[in-house]
Amino acid sequence: MAKDPVCGTRIDEQNAMQFGLTTEHLKHTFCFCSVKCKARFDEEPGAFAEQFNEWEEWDIPDHAWNPE
């Protein structure tokens, strides 16, 4: 699953790619839930990409979190 950096919706990368709702920014492929979100990101990719990085940190996969 990927996260739409504009609205935070969880989306399937495959779906996003199929509908052309992806944008490459700083070597990362961002996926979007709609053309609206993609357009907003494309207007100001820096601002959204910055937020997205924070989300990524919160979004640590279960297998990476193993305190025991």
Helix (H) or strand (E) holding 22, with range, is: strand 22-25
Q: Smallest distance, Å, CB 32 to Zn ion?
A: 5
Which neighbouring-strand residues pair with 5? none
Q: Which of 7, 19, 22, 45 binds Zn ion (CB under 5 A)?
A: 7
Residue 37 interacts with Zn ion (CB under 5 A): yes or no: yes
We find the least distance from the C-beta atom of residue 57 to Zn ion, in angstroms, to be 20
Give the torsion sign (CA, 29, 55, 12, 18).
Answer: negative
- Applying CB under 5 A, the site for Zn ion has a residue count of 6
Contact between 4 and Zn ion per CB under 5 A: yes
CA 43, CA 55: separation in Å to the nearest integer?
20
User: Residues interacting with Zn ion, by CB under 5 A?
Assistant: 4, 6-7, 9, 33, 37
